[in-house]
């Protein structure tokens, strides 16, 4: 554990040193949140959201790119250095496959998110089109998530999970569409949650800490190292992302972080715990899904605003108050999720 803590601190220091010049670089490239005037040109009007967030126009977007770049570089280097100094590297699954799946998820969803960010920021198409169309994004996400699900089943041999009280559920190849659904759901849930300063990144920090404990407890070195490096970067980012934010993750970070969180939970065999530890993301995406479905089938809104954090803003809650209370809820959910994970560990042979 001392090595893992050292890696986390090293990652934090490196990211902290680089974030200030990275923010200046994003300003120079004009990779920033667009003004309302520009958004109106795309016919993208969201009155409630705009009322609370119009003042954030001009803030740099794409902060997740630095974490993804550095973590992707540091991860294999760290494993090589550990092996060079004869530090035992143990994993529940084949080492190379586990590393491949984690990095593929991290990078592929980041590339998809970056493409969306670039289209939103620089590329102007016909009126009414802003970034990637939802159906195109979902198609690409489904392709990537299906590939990952296939690897989980046929390379890591993961096709079961344990639910307390119910017992072991063996899914066979049905685990592939199940895994794809979980990955897509969390990628978009994180993206939806990333609407307030420090909200999504803070909740993710808490969730990752819980999975870090789980991975370390079962001696899965690759995941433990990866999460340690990821956490270090996330803590450095959060320093600049808390209210009032100086930088945002962008889709490049949101899609990659949500999808990879799901993959970490699936690799560890903790799907039920994932739903609890990531409960805030589940609530956020569920509120948006209910709102969209209600409008489609009944022609009116189910809530005054969605997702849930925007509804709280609409009701008069200050932004920092919402974020802090969501963090507290996340801590409680992480503790419950760890408890469920321990029950799973105790019963799965």
pLDDT by 10s per residue, the chain, length 349: 788 999 999 999 999 999 999 999 999 988 887 655 555 555 555 666 666 667 777 899 999 999 999 999 999 999 999 988 888 888 889 999 999 999 999 999 999 999 988 888 776 544 444 457 788 899 999 999 999 999 999 999 998 777 766 767 788 899 999 999 999 999 999 999 998 999 999 999 999 999 999 999 888 999 999 999 999 999 999 999 999 999 999 999 999 999 999 999 999 988 889 999 999 999 999 999 999 888 888 877 888 888 999 999 998 899 999 999 999 999 999 999 998 887 765 444 3
DSSP at 28: H
SS3 74: helix
Contacts of 235 (CB under 8 A, 6+ apart): 12, 15, 205
Strand locations in 140-249 (E): 160-163, 167-170
Q: Which sign does the torsion angle of CA 334, 335, 338, 339 carry? A: negative
Place of tokens 């592929």: 108
φ/ψ bin of 96: left (φ > 0), alpha (ψ from -120 to 50), beta (otherwise): alpha
Calpha distance 154→97 (Å, rounded):
10
Q: What local confidence, expressed as pLDDT, does residue 1 receive? A: 74
Contacts of 266 (CB under 8 A, 6+ apart): 152, 158, 179, 182, 183, 274
pTM, two decimal places: 0.92
Supply angle C-alpha 307, 310, 311, rounded to 5.
85
Q: Are 233 and 13 in contact (CB under 8 A)?
A: no
Calpha distance 119→109 (Å, rounded):
15
SS3 248: strand
Number of C-beta neighbours around residue 53 at 10 A: 19
Contacts of 234 (CB under 8 A, 6+ apart): 67, 201, 204, 205, 208
Number of C-beta neighbours around residue 92 at 10 A: 18
Place of tokens 């479905």: 293
Q: What local confidence, expressed as pLDDT, does residue 44 receive? A: 54
SS3 85: coil
Structure tokens at 188: 């978009």
Calpha distance 230→250 (Å, rounded):
17
Calpha distance 295→291 (Å, rounded):
6
């Amino acid at each position: 554990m001392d090595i893992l803590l050292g890696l986390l601190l090293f990652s934090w220091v490196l990211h902290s040193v680089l974030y200030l010049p990275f923010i200046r670089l994003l300003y120079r490239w004009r990779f920033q949140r667009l003004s309302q005037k520009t958004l109106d040109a795309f016919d993208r009007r969201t009155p409630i959201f705009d009322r609370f967030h119009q003042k954030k126009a001009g803030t740099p977007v794409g902060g997740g790119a630095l974490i993804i770049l550095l973590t992707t570089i540091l991860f294999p280097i760290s494993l090589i250095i550990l092996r060079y100094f004869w530090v035992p590297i143990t994993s529940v699954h084949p080492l190379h496959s586990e590393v491949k799946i984690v990095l593929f998820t991290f990078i592929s969803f980041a590339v998809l998110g970056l493409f969306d960010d670039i289209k939103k920021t620089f590329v102007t198409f016909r009126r009414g089109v802003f970034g990637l169309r939802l159906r195109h994004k979902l198609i690409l996400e489904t392709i990537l998530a299906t590939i990952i699900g296939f690897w989980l089943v046929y390379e890591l041999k993961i096709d079961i999970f344990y639910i307390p009280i119910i017992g072991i559920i063996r899914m066979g190849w049905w685990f592939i569409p199940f895994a794809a659904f979980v990955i897509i759901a969390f990628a978009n849930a994180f993206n939806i949650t990333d609407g307030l300063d420090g909200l999504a990144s803070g909740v993710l920090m808490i969730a990752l800490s819980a999975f870090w404990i789980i991975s370390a407890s079962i001696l899965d070195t690759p995941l433990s190292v990866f999460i340690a490096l990821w956490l270090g970067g996330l803590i450095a980012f959060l320093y600049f992302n808390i209210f009032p934010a100086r930088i945002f993750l962008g889709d490049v970070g949101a899609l990659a972080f949500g999808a990879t969180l799901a993959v970490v939970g699936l690799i560890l065999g903790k799907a039920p715990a994932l739903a609890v530890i990531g409960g805030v993301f589940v609530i956020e995406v569920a509120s948006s899904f209910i709102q969209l479905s209600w409008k489609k089938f009944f022609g009116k809104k189910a809530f005054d605003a969605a997702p849930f954090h925007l509804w709280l803003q609409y009701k008069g809650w200050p932004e920092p108050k919402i974020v802090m209370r969501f963090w507290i809820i996340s801590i409680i959910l992480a503790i419950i999720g760890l408890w469920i994970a321990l029950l799973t560990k105790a019963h799965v042979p």
